[in-house]
Structure formats: C-alpha cells, structure tokens
C-alpha cells in the first residue's frame, strides 16, 4: 500500500497553522502522537470515517488459497503446474493468496518484526528525523496528517526504497542510518537483508504468475529482475474507539505485487463478493496480492483487489509490506500473448515512476486509481 487511500474524491489539503485565539487552535495542523492518542477516547474528527466506510463487526473469514512453494522450489514439474493453477484461480477471482514453505528464514522475519519496536517506540521528535517530505514516498509518516485533512488512517509508517541493482547493495541500510542515526546500523542491516529476501521471493512468484498466464516462467521474472521496490513498516497503535476509524482506508495497491507479513494480531480485510472479509494471521505464511501495475501488465486478466486494515482497542498491530515495482525504465505493456481480438488492450503504456507521481501529487489512491491514471495518461498525450 504505497499511499494512503480513500474511495471518494480528493480531500482538501490541510490549512497552514494559525496562532492566536482558542478558536484558531482548531485550525492548526494535527499531530499524530501515538503515545498520547492511543489513550484518547475523544478521537479528533479527522480520524472519524463516514458511516458507510466504518468497520463492520465480525466480518466473515475469507478462504484464501494456501500456496505451498516447496515442490515448486525443488523443481518438481507436477507441483509447479498444480501451484500455478492455484495461483491463477486466486488471481482471477480476487487477487489474494498465501504462500508457505517459502524458504525465508523465520529468524529474519522475527527480527524484522522485533526491530520495528526500536523505531516506533521512540519519542515522536526522534522519529521525525526521518520525516517524509511532501511529494515523496519514503520516510516516516504519522498518519499522513501533513498531506490529508480527513479520513486519516490510525497508523504510523516508515517507508524506504530497495533496489535489486548490484550497484545499490546497501541502499536500505545507508538510507536508514542517514535518516535515523548510525546507532540504527543493525536496524538497517536487518531490513536490507529482509528486502533482499522479499525481492528474491517476488521473482519466484513472478515465475508462477508467468506460468499461470501462459507466457512462460521467465517473462515476468526478467521484467522485474532489477526491481526498484518499496518497503514499508506499518505500526497500528491501539485506538479506544476502533469502530469509528480505520488503520488503512479501502484501496487497491498501485504497485505490482505486495508481499505482506502480519504479526499475530488480526486486522487485514478484503472486499470480495460485495462484502468485507477478514484474513486470519498466519505467522508462517506471507499474504500476497496483485497490484494495479501487474493488473495492467496482465491486460486486466488478474485483479487488483480492494482491501483495508482495521484497528483494535487493546493491542498494537504490526505488518511488513514489500511492494514490488519494476525498474524505472521498464515500460508496462502486456505480453503479446495476452492481447487479441477477444482481449484488446485495456490500459496505455506507462512506467512505474509515472504512476507513482500520479498517486503522490495528483490523486489519493483508491479502488479506481488505475482507471483514473489511464485517463490521465491519455489526456497528457493529447
């Protein structure tokens, strides 16, 4: 989830701070300090969502396909075909599936969750050393209060770039040390290693997606081989009125593929068959979902699915999200095998930086991002 999202039109941007009377104080920019707001029973109005978008009680659980990668990774051709078929069914229906026996060291996953506390439990002033700047997608964000003025998410995030280019082997570590301080060098090393593992896993999944679409194992793997991706640490503090707000609003990911690891606290929900469903946490599995960029790359055959995150009043929820993105120079255009008179081209050619710019500067991402972006590209061409 590269950007924070809604399902309506763009909200107005926050007004500059005013000083003076008590009434003027209400117009000052809101600061999301989780160490204080987690105990607040009167939620600031900016966090209260419209009734039709508020969380629903006890949503049904979504039965998500469990994709076992052991046979595929061992080179078993029968297992590969069965696995690709399972992935295809999930991606055509709703775009979500779980992967197990993925080969990622469980200790690395545990460390990645544990080190999140080292950052997010810092005083707000120290976290703000890594503050995300306007128009950028990397850095620390406390509920995006500097960017939006309504339907704010109840969360903090830390986002950073990852590059699979061999000339950028320490990009994550160097960025985090620069922004947070050299005392966080081990912190940076953990997430550098985690991103490398996620990049490798995403390429394996791309092989499966290529097989399932009939374009071959190497087609998408080669396209994403030198990916320029985004890693995000999500931290959802407790909320005393969880029925009024959302941790992340309803949206489809603008990126290509999301590999999410949840802790043991539930909160992820997916919109399928006209209702919200929960996805039960499984610490041994990664949640994988298709994003808008891959939906365009597949010429609409695989779906980018609407999802959101809810919060609770008792326990902090954490998740690790790796957003696979193609290299900046890669043109997103579907393979010729996926275009014919029955399935003509749906979306125009574009590059990932174009879509990223659109979501950062022109549009607050929602379930219609790809359609709106395609219209924007066409208008700019004319």
Residues annotated as catalytic are: 317
- Can you tell me the distance from the alpha carbon of 231 to that of 248, in angstroms, rounded to the nearest whole number? 16
In this structure, what DSSP letter does residue 361 have?
Answer: I
Bridge partners, residue 286, by sequence: 99
Per-residue DSSP letters for 109-173? HHHHHHHHHHHHTS-HHHHGGGBPPTT-SSEEEETTTTT-SSS--S-EEEEEEEE-SGGGTTHHH
- Can you tell me the distance from the alpha carbon of 94 to that of 266, in angstroms, rounded to the nearest whole number? 20
Maximum alpha-carbon separation in the chain? 72
Which helix (H) or strand (E) segment is 107 a member of?
Answer: helix 106-120
Q: How far is CA 156 from CA 137, 207, 215, 301, 359, in A?
A: 14, 33, 39, 34, 19
Burial 82-107 (b: 16+ CB within 10 A, else e): ebbebbbebbeebbbbbbebbebeee
In this structure, what DSSP letter does residue 190 have?
Answer: H
Q: Cite the beta strand spans of the chain per DSSP E.
A: 66-68, 96-100, 139-142, 156-163, 228-236, 248-251, 257-262, 268-272, 275-278, 286-290, 307-309, 317-324, 331-332, 350-351
Which helix (H) or strand (E) segment is 357 a member of?
Answer: helix 352-357
Do 270 and 307 contact (CB within 8 A), yes or no?
yes
Per-residue DSSP letters for 59-78? PPBP---EEE-HHHHTT-HH
């Amino acid at each position: 989830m590269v950007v924070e999202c809604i399902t309506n039109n763009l909200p107005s941007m926050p007004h500059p701070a005013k000083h003076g009377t008590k009434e003027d104080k209400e117009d000052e920019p809101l600061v999301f300090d989780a160490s204080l707001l987690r105990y607040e029973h009167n939620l600031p109005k900016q966090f209260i969502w419209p009734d039709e978008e508020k969380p629903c009680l006890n949503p049904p659980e979504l039965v998500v396909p469990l994709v076992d990668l052991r046979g595929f990774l061992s080179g078993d051709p029968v297992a590969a075909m069965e696995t690709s078929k399972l992935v295809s069914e999930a991606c055509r229906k709703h775009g979500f599936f779980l992967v197990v026996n993925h080969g990622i060291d469980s200790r690395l996953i545990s460390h990645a969750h544990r080190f999140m506390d080292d950052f997010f439990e810092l005083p707000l002033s120290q976290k703000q050393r890594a503050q995300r700047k306007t128009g950028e997608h990397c850095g620390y964000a406390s509920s995006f209060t500097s960017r939006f003025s309504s339907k704010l998410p109840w969360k903090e995030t830390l986002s950073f770039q990852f590059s699979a280019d061999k000339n950028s082997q320490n990009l994550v570590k160097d960025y985090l040390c620069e922004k947070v301080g050299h005392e966080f060098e081990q912190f940076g090393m953990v997430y550098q290693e985690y991103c490398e593992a996620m990049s490798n896993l995403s390429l394996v999944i791309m092989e499966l997606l290529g097989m399932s679409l009939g374009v071959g194992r190497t087609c998408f793997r080669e396209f994403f081989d030198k990916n320029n991706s985004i890693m995000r640490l999500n931290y959802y503090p407790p909320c005393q009125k969880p029925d009024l707000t959302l941790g992340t609003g309803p949206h489809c990911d603008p990126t290509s593929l999301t590999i999410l690891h949840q802790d043991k606290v539930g909160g992820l929900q997916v919109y399928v068959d006209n209702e919200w469903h929960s996805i039960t946490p499984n610490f041994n599995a990664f949640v994988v979902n298709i994003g808008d960029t891959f939906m365009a790359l597949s010429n609409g055959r695989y779906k980018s699915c609407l999802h959101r995150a809810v919060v609770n009043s008792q326990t902090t929820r954490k998740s690790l999200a790796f957003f696979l993105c193609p290299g900046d120079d890669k043109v997103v255009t579907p393979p010729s095998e996926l275009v014919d008179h029955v399935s003509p081209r749906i979306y125009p050619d574009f590059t990932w930086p174009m879509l990223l710019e659109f979501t950062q500067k022109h549009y607050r991402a929602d379930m219609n991002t790809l359609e709106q972006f395609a219209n924007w590209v066409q208008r700019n061409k004319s």
